[in-house]
Amino acid sequence: MDTADAIIGNRGVIETGPATAANLAEAYAWCGRLAKSHYENFTIASWLMPRAMRPHMHAIYAYARIADDFADENKSLAKLDEWERELDAAYAGSLRHPVFVALADTARRFDIPREPFADLLRAFRSDVNFSGFDTIDDLLGYARYSANPVGRLVLYLFGYRDAERQQLSDFVCSGLQLANFWQDVAPDFANGRIYFPRRDLERFGVTSADLRDTRVTPGFVALMKHEIVFARDLLLRGAELARMVDRRLRRDILMFVGGGLAILRAIEKIDYDVFNRRPKLGKLDYLALGWGAIRGRLSH
């Protein structure tokens, strides 16, 4: 049984009873175990997160991780609908299982609105019936719901609610998501997903057959160069956010921006052949990023 099915099965959600101090602590611990077991990048970045903030980040991650599983593993709009009903119930004060026990406490403490949590579900629903994107604006529209809410949630945790910082955070999150897409062209295609905008594919003469046959044609190289320039520009524009937050959050922003830029450099270093070798960062890369972030520096 996968994580998603363990949370919502045929009988609904796991009951936990009133949110006592004991089951609140257990709820946060449950979310922490899920976060640490599922996403290496998240765990490494959390080294730089103030210890008091980590349980709240784990609650946010657990909420998104399970919803993502409903979309990717279960292909279930019904389960996503049930997840949103649980979100509504949590905001109404009715708590029924660990994720929402923790999440409701986090939302209450930091006065987080429902919108970014609901936006993530909108993106996951579109994943169930994935149809690709015509333009880069369409792709950014997807990132508006799939990636940007996470950055805004982090800003809420640190007390930042203004539009200027949210916009810069959106640049970071969208740029990082694009970097991840170009890193994972091959596995995404194997799963029936092409994130390249169709107009960009046409512009550079790249076909779905080229992607299927893993052909690194001159057109594909030109396409990748174009997409990398765009993603890098977003990340560098968003990096200004690091100057506008306190030291507790600055390090994580530098870590994430630096990580996105490092992924793009890794793609360039393998001459854009993302089919035969997945460009990824190793432990030494993460240590270098972390050290740079601690020193307040961004690696370009």
Bridge partners, residue 9, by sequence: 12
Band of residue 218 on the pLDDT scale cut at 50, 70, 90: very high
| Percentage with pLDDT > 70 across the chain | 88
- Residue 14 has a pLDDT of 36
CB 266 within 8 A of CB 300: no
- Domains of the chain, by residue range, sit at 1-112, 130-300
Closest by CA position to 177, among listed 144, 130, 199, 154:
144
Q: CA 29, CA 44: separation in Å to the nearest integer?
A: 18
- Residue 111 has a pLDDT of 97
Is 1.10.600.10 the CATH number for 1-112?
Answer: yes
Give the pLDDT confidence of 46-104 residue by residue, as tens digits.
Answer: 566 788 999 999 999 999 999 999 998 778 899 999 999 999 999 998 887 789 999 99
Give the pLDDT confidence of 129-154 residue by residue, as tens digits.
Answer: 999 999 999 999 999 999 999 999 99
Q: What contacts 247, CB < 8 A, 6 or more positions away?
A: none
Q: How many residues does the chain have?
A: 300
Q: What contacts 106, CB < 8 A, 6 or more positions away?
A: 55, 56, 59, 60, 112, 157
Whole-angstrom Cα Rg for the chain? 19
Please tell me if the domain spanning 1-112 has the same topology as the one spanning 130-300. yes
DSSP 10: T
Q: What contacts 18, CB < 8 A, 6 or more positions away?
A: 95
Q: Tell me the one-letter amino acid at 180.
A: N
Its pTM stands at 0.88
For the cut 50, the answer to whether the pLDDT of residue 8 exceeds it is no
Q: What is the mean pLDDT of the chain?
A: 88
Superfamily of domain 130-300: Farnesyl Diphosphate Synthase (1.10.600.10)
Q: What contacts 72, CB < 8 A, 6 or more positions away?
A: 127
SS3 for 264? helix
Closest by CA position to 172, among listed 155, 157, 195:
155
CB 256 within 8 A of CB 290: no
